């Protein structure tokens, strides 16, 4: 099955994320095909939701927030994040299917 998460270079992964801002709580909903779905309580104003998503991803993956960078989608729900020094297999292992659902 083809995946939308792709290797940008050996030490980084491009991860597609779908965000629901202004949710009741911050949580990882889980995988929908190859897209990771997240909910954050922050509003999508002045980058607050993007900052919350970066922190939530870092916490869920057990990495420093400095290793998570928004590449595309600053003003949309569909975002592309670069995750430094993790493979797709490692990300899928840390966030299994059905996580948070």
| 101 occurs within a structural domain | no
Report if residue 43 sits inside a domain: yes
Report yes or no on 99 lying in a domain: no
The three-state (H, E, C) secondary structure of 6-33, written as one string: EEEECCEEEEEEEEECCCCCCEEEEEEC
Confidence of residue 32 (pLDDT cuts 50, 70, 90): very high
Return the CATH number at 50: 3.30.1200.10
Predicted confidence at residue 99, as pLDDT, reads 56
The model's pTM: 0.86
Residue 1 lies in a domain: no
Is 100 inside any structural domain?
Answer: no
pLDDT at 17: 98
Predicted confidence at residue 85, as pLDDT, reads: 95
Residue 76 resides in a domain:
yes
Residue 12 lies in domain: 6-94
Position 89 in a domain: yes
Number of independent structural domains in the chain: 1
Residues 36-90 have pLDDT tens digits of 999 999 999 999 999 999 999 999 999 999 999 999 999 999 999 999 999 999 9
What is d(CA 83, CA 46) in angstroms, rounded to the nearest whole number? 22
Residue 9 has pLDDT above 80, yes or no: no
Please report whether residue 60 resides in a domain: yes
């Amino acid at each position: 099955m083809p995946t939308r998460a792709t290797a940008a270079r050996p030490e980084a992964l491009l991860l597609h994320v779908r965000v629901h801002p202004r949710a009741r709580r911050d949580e990882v909903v889980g995988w929908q095909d190859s897209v990771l779905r997240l909910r954050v309580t922050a509003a999508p104003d002045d980058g607050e939701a993007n900052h919350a998503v970066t922190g939530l991803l870092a916490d869920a993956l057990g990495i420093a927030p400095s290793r998570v960078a928004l590449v595309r989608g600053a003003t949309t729900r569909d975002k592309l994040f670069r995750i430094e020094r993790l493979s797709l297999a490692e990300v899928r292992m840390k966030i299994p299917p059905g996580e948070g659902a």
